[in-house]
Amino acid sequence: MEITNVNEYEAIAKEKLPKMVYDYYASGAEDQWTLQENRNAFSRILFRPRILIDVSKIDMTTTVLGFKISMPIMVAPTAMQKMAHPEGEYATARAASAAGTIMTLSSWATSSVEEVASTGPGIRFFQLYVYKDRNVVAQLVRRAERAGFKAIALTVDTPRLGRRESDIKNRFTLPPNLTLKNFEGLDLGKMDEANDSGLASYVAGQIDRTLSWKDVQWLQTITKLPILVKGVITAEDARMAVQAGAAGIIVSNHGARQLDYVPATIIALEEVVKAAQGKIPVFLDGGVRRGTDVFKALALGASGIFIGRPVVFSLAAEGEAGVRKVLQMMREEFELTMALSGCTTLKEITRNHIVTDWDAPQARLVPKL
C-alpha cells in the first residue's frame, strides 16, 4: 500500500515496534487531553484563500538564525531514535540534510553529537537538558559547538518528567543494547530498571529542578551559540525570554508529554508571537502533520515549525527513506496549500489568510484589511 500522507506511518510503526517503544514515542501525559488537542486545534482554523494570483513560481525558502533552509519545516529533537531503527539519528541527520533543512539532536540521543556530525554536512541544532552537574552541561555544549552544531535549543518545561502512564505500565527503560551516547563517558548513559518509568527515575536523579531564567543567562556565558528557549506557551514567559537574551522561542508543550491540559501549541502561538513583538523569531512545535498545518502556523506568526513524532514513526517504518518521504510530503503539501491560498512567498502568508474559531464573530466574516 502506497503511503500518501504523514499520518499513515504511525500505524506501520505500531505494527513494527515493540509495545514499550511504540508507547514511549506515541503517548502523552496523564489523560492525554493535550495530545489530542495538539492535533484537533488545527481543525478550528479555516482558510480564506485568495484567487486569481499567479502561483506558477513558489518560493518556500527561509532563514532561521541566519541559516538558509529550503522550507520552514524542521526536525524537532526526539530521544533515543535507535529504538525506532538501527541507524537512528544517523538516518534522520542524512534525511534532514538531503531535504535542505535543520535537524535538532536530542540530549538523550542514542548517537553522539560527534557521530551525527560525521554523517556529513547539514545545519544542526542541539537540544539541551540541564543536568545537576553543570560541568556535564558545559562539556556537552562545548562538544556540540566543536561538532559544528549551530544553536542550542534549551528545553525549559522539564524540571520533572510528566506522568506518562504507558511508560509506568511498561516499566519503560532504554533497551540494553543502547546508551544515551552523549553521556556514555560520564557514567550517565544507562538507565536503571525502575518500579515505574526508568526515564522518570533517571530525570529525578539527574535533571536540575532549580533551573531558572538566570541559568539561561549563565548558558550565554559558556557558549557563543544562539539559544532557543523551547517550552514557552505564555505571553509572560515570551517577554522573559526576550529579556533573558534568547535568540528565539519554540512554542512547545513537549509533545503533550509534560503538563496535561495546557493548550495546544497552535492555540498558544499567537499570544507568544504578540508578546515577542517581532524582537525574536517564534517557532511552533507540536501536532503538525499536514502542509495545511504549516501554513496555519505561519499565518499566526510562526517563523517555522518542527515535527517530532512523524520523524520517529517514519524512521521505524522505512529508516532514512521514511524520514526523507515525510519531509518531502510535508514540503509538497505546504507548497500546494500556498498555491491554493494565493501565496508565492512565505512573507505573503498573513493573518487574513485564515479565520479561527476564537476570532470575534464579525472578524470571522470580514477581517480588517
The answer to whether 97 is a known ligand-binding residue is: no
Round the CA-based radius of gyration of the chain to a whole number and report it.
20
- Are 291 and 4 within 8 A, CB to CB? no
Read off the C-alpha cell for 99.
Answer: 531535504
- Are 292 and 337 within 8 A, CB to CB? yes
- Are 227 and 245 within 8 A, CB to CB? yes
Give the pLDDT confidence of 202-242 residue by residue, as tens digits: 767 788 899 999 999 999 999 999 999 999 999 999 999 99
pLDDT at residue 367 greater than cutoff 90: no
The answer to whether 286 is a known ligand-binding residue is: yes
- Are 130 and 137 within 8 A, CB to CB? yes
What mean pLDDT, rounded, does the chain reach?
Answer: 94
The answer to whether 24 is a known ligand-binding residue is: yes
Is 254 tagged catalytic? yes
Give the pLDDT confidence of 155-180 residue by residue, as tens digits: 999 999 999 999 999 999 999 999 99
Give the pLDDT confidence of 283-323 residue by residue, as tens digits: 999 999 999 999 999 999 999 999 999 999 999 999 999 99
Q: Which of 150, 254, 296, 353 is catalytic?
A: 254
CA distance 159 to 203: 8
Read off the C-alpha cell for 284.
Answer: 511552533
The answer to whether 257 is a known ligand-binding residue is: yes
**Mean pLDDT, to the nearest integer, of 120-126?**
97
